[in-house]
Structure 1
Amino acid sequence: MNIKTDKCNSVLVIEDNQSDFFLLEDFLIEKYHNIKITHSDDFQGAADFLTCNTFALVLLDLHLPDLSGLELIKKVLHHSSKTPVIILTGYSDINLAQKSLKLGVFDFLVKDEINPTLLHKSIEFALSRRSYIEQIEQEIHNYERLFNFSPQPTWLLDLNSLRIINANFSATSHYGYSLAKFKKMSFLDLHPKCEKEIVEKKMKANVKDKRNYDYTHVLQDGEHIDVKIYCGEVKKISQGDVIIVQTNDITETLKYIETIELQNEKLKSIAWTQSHEVRAPLAKILGIIDLINYQNETDPETQFLLEQLKASSCDLDQMIKKIVNKI
């Protein structure tokens, strides 16, 4: 039983041989439900169709009246954009097949070997591959958006040379270098000379070591900033091993911490003054009061005043202790 599908709903067949076209038309109708087949017998007509219409697939004969071979393939691929192209030829040419596949053709079929099942399998493979490529392209696009719109300066570096492969918008705006300038630089160029050797060792160490470190970066205008660096390894076959590096400008944070530390030192100084310099004369006053009470018999009124003076001094001593404890 022959089951038809709707996966391939529109095909452009570029074929100058009417007999071959009719045969392909029968094969397609046999396998696909409600398929729309458009026919062109030369390149110029096909180019016009591709400019004005969208097709799920292109079947291309390699020898047309106005163009043939690799030149024909290149021009059809240019006009077909992302539409899968399957080559149909009257003879087997391995060298040409390899070259056409490298250019972006999805399959290369010899006409004498084509039957409904073979053509159907080739089309299904091409459509599935196109869908998979689109998915990958979308994931790449999403990654690029995440990379570029991250609020933190971020770079992609070659792990071996630490050459900058890419930098996001935040890196170019914060550091003042253009993307083109960044791509001519090593990441080490952002560090002062005294840090370069240790930075290189840390960043080329194993992944567990590449967590976060505090360093100095030099901006395009020569200004120095304090940064915390985060690294992670990315496997990228086409460009070898790559690491992604993100920096966080902690200059203001360190200034804030320095201000707090200075304030703490002042508070410590105040605490020392309160606990030693202020309490010392207060302790003397209390001692004098006790001495007066011990050595002299005073009248009741004087005795009352001395007791009040002692009580007030003790209250003041307790207040100083509380202030010191709070500091």
Structure 2
Amino acid sequence: MEKDNKVYHILIIEDNIGDQILIKEYLEEHILEPKFTSASTFTAAKEFLVNSDLSFDIILLDLSLPDKSGEHLIQTMLQLAAEVPVVILTGYTDMPLSIRSLHLGISDYLLKDDLTSFSLYKSLLYNIQKKKYLLDLKKSEKRYSDLFHLSPLPMWVCDVENHHFLDVNDAAIQQYGYSHAEFMGMKFQDIENKPRESNALISNPLNGQVSGIREGRHRLKNGTIIDVETTSNELLYNAKKSLVTLVNNVTEKNIYIKAVEEQNAKLKEIAWIQSHIVRAPLARIMGIVNLLEVDENELNEEQLFLFKGLINSAHELDEIIKDISSKTAKADI
């Protein structure tokens, strides 16, 4: 049989030397080079866990030690073990205690009389991997929590079914003016100003169109109305179908766009005035000049200069107005 070549650091807390030897032999059947540390009392085990540089992958704990035993031993050992999984090995069948120990945080509860090399090795592998998975999950949840609560933009989680707020971040509390407790007693519609189906974040959760980017208007606690752009995604939050939403306040942007639109409208009005009102009398002047039948030979030098200057200036002014009107007509946001 091929043995597991991974290195495992195992702390055995057992006052019976015979049981210590048996546990080691069982594990050596499946593990190539296990690293054992043994303690026959709680005090000795505490020394290894607190005052040494040793780190362990798993702790195998007997429930009856000379200086501590039972539930009190379990509670104290779990505090000392921190993130290391603790497996109880006992010779006593105590079902209520085994259930309580699992509720307290013990990883496994094994009877010595039923123990085999394979069952012990399987428990070791399972509980080490389970603890690793739980630690990874906890880190992942912390990363999510940090991204949520430290976001500079308001964020919240809403229940898709009843639209209640399930959580909000500090930025939402600061911008909207409600406390966390007030948000938890509110629905999304309480901050939505004149909700419309096209803008409601979760107006119809059954139509499948709850995620995505939407624009709307929200009401702050002080009554101020703001324009917002919200980005939402579905997630399962505490076993509830929910939406996590990021809110971007676009009020100032919309005010700026409105001002540009108004300026754009005025610019187009100026273009129309230039192309129609200003150009009309200019066109008449040019028409009258063109109708004049002037014999250039009859004009003296000064008169001829003025006459040509008038014609050229009229044509030049006409081209300038055309150019301004053309550029202004193309101007847009």
- Secondary structure at the aligned position of 2:200 is classed as helix
How far apart are 1:191 and its partner, in Å?
A: 2.2
Within 5 Å, which residues of 2 pair with 1:1-327?
3=3, 5-13=5-13, 15-28=14-27, 31=31, 33=33, 35-42=35-42, 46-47=45-46, 49-53=48-52, 54-64=55-65, 68-192=69-193, 194-195=194-195, 199=200, 201-202=202-203, 204-236=205-237, 238-293=238-293, 299-301=298-300, 302=303, 305-327=306-328
Distance 2:177 2:157 in 1: 17
Deviations 1:271-308 (A, max 9, x none): 122112211221222233244438x9993245664343
Instruction: Describe the superposition over 1:82-111 as per-residue Cα deviations: whole angstroms up to 9, x where unpaired.
Output: 110111222445554444333322222111
Q: Distance in 1 between matches of 2:276 and 2:204?
A: 51
Counterpart Cα distance in 2 of 1:5 and 1:178: 55
TM-superposed deviation, 1:70:
4.2
CA offsets, 1:52-72, max 9 Å, x none? 354321212234456554444
Residue 35 and residue 160 in structure 1: after superposition, are their counterparts in 2 closer, same or farther (change >3 A)?
same
Query: Does 57-66 or 268-277 show the bigger shift?
Result: 57-66
- Inter-CA distance 32–108: structure 2 relative to 1 (3 Å threshold): farther
Give 1:270 shift.
1.0
Paired residues of 1:203 and 1:231 also in contact (CA < 8 A): no
- Number of residue equivalences: 322
CA contact (8 A) 1:25 1:37 kept: no
Residue 250 of structure 1 aligns with an amino acid whose one-letter code is: V
> 1:205: Cα distance to partner?
4.5
Shift of 1:127: 1.3
1:183 & 1:310 partners in 2: Cα distance? Answer: 78
SS at 1:202 equivalent? coil
CA distance in 2, matches of 1:123, 1:274: 88
Deviates more, 1:310-319 or 1:61-70: 61-70
1:234 aligned counterpart, secondary structure:
strand
> How has the CA–CA distance of structure 1 residues 81 and 181 changed in structure 2, closer, same or farther, with 3 Å as cutoff?
farther
Q: TM-score, normalized by length of structure 2?
A: 0.82
CA distance 1:190–1:120, change in 2 (3 Å):
same
Maintained 8 Å contact 1:6/1:32:
yes
Check conservation: 1:12, 1:38, Cα contact below 8 A.
Answer: yes
Return the offset for 1:80. 1.5
The aligned amino acid for 2:271 is: A
The whole-number CA distance in structure 1 between the counterparts of 2:6 and 2:152 is 45
1:223 shift after superposition: 3.1
Distance 1:5 1:154 in 2: 48
Post-superposition CA distance 1:192-216 (Å, at most 9, x none): 3x22886265362544453222112
Alpha-carbon spacing, 1:183–1:52, altered in 2? closer, same or farther (3 Å):
farther
2:272 counterpart SS class: helix
Q: For residues 255 and 323 of structure 2, what CA distance do their matches in structure 1 show?
A: 31
Structure in which a larger fraction of residues adopt helix: 1
Task: Tell me, in whole angstroms, the C-alpha distance in 2 between the residues paired with 1:88 and 1:305.
Answer: 118
- Aligned-pair CA distance for 1:244: 1.0
Give 1:134 deviation, angstroms.
Answer: 2.2
Alpha-carbon contact 1:8-1:32 (below 8 Å) kept:
no
* 2: CA distance, partners of 1:12 / 1:308: 111
Tell me, what secondary structure is at the counterpart of 1:121?
helix
- Does the Cα contact within 8 Å between 2:155 and 2:172 map onto a contact in 1? yes
Secondary structure of the residue that 1:191 maps to in structure 2? coil
> Match for 2:258: what amino acid?
E
**Aligned to 1:83, what secondary structure does the other structure show?**
coil
Matches of 1:285 and 1:70 in 2, distance apart? 109
The root-mean-square deviation of aligned C-alpha atoms, in Å, is: 3.2
